Structure 1
Amino acid sequence: MKRRWISWWIANIIWIILFAVGTVAVWTREVDGAAVTQTPELKLLAFIVLLIAFIFPLIIQVIWLIVNFKASKHVL
């Protein structure tokens, strides 16, 4: 049981770090890979795309959390 929770926290920390690095990369770049100058509107659009990409791992983490809670109740 304890391994499940430790794994869940490690996975969450990794996802948070990846999201933070992606956010910093989006907001600090002046020009993107297509050589387009990044305006605040384009940066916001890129950030929204990043958010959409991280919704799927978020759903998996929530399901994993529910499984961990149910498994913890059966042990007690």
Structure 2
Amino acid sequence: MKRRWISWWIANMIWIILFAVGTVVVWTREVDGAGVTQTLALKLLAFIVLLIAFIFPLIIQVIWLIVNFKASKHVL
């Protein structure tokens, strides 16, 4: 049971770090890969795309959390 929780926390930390790094990259870059100068509107759009990309891992983490809670109750 404890391994399941440790794995869940490690996975969460990895996703949080990836999201933070992606956010920093989006907000600090001046020019994107296509050579387009990044305005505030384009940075916001890129950030929204990043948020949408991280919704799927968030759903998986919530399901994993629910499974962990149910498995913990069966052990007790």
Provide the TM-score with structure 1 as the length reference. 1.00
How many residues of Structure 1 are paired with residues of Structure 2 in the alignment? Answer: 76
CA deviation vs aligned residue, 1:17-56 (integer Å, no higher than 9, x gap): 0000000000000000000000000000000000000000
**Any runs of at least 4 consecutive aligned residues in structure 1 with deviations exceeding 6 A, and if so which?**
none
Q: Classify the secondary structure of the residue corresponding to 1:34.
A: coil
Partner of residue 46, structure 1 = 46
Deviation at 1:58, TM superposition (A): 0.1
Within the alignment, does 1:69 sit opposite 2:69 as a pair? yes
Query: Structure 1 unaligned runs (5+)?
Result: none
Alignment map for 1:1-76 (pairs within 5 Å): 1-76=1-76
Q: Identity over aligned residues, as a percent? A: 93
Secondary structure at the aligned position of 1:36 is classed as coil
User: Cα RMSD over matched residues?
Assistant: 0.1
Where do 5+ consecutive residues of structure 2 fail to align? none
Distance apart, 1:12 and its partner CA: 0.0
**Aligned partners of 2:32 and 2:6: how far apart in 1?**
37
- CA drift of 1:7 comes to 0.1
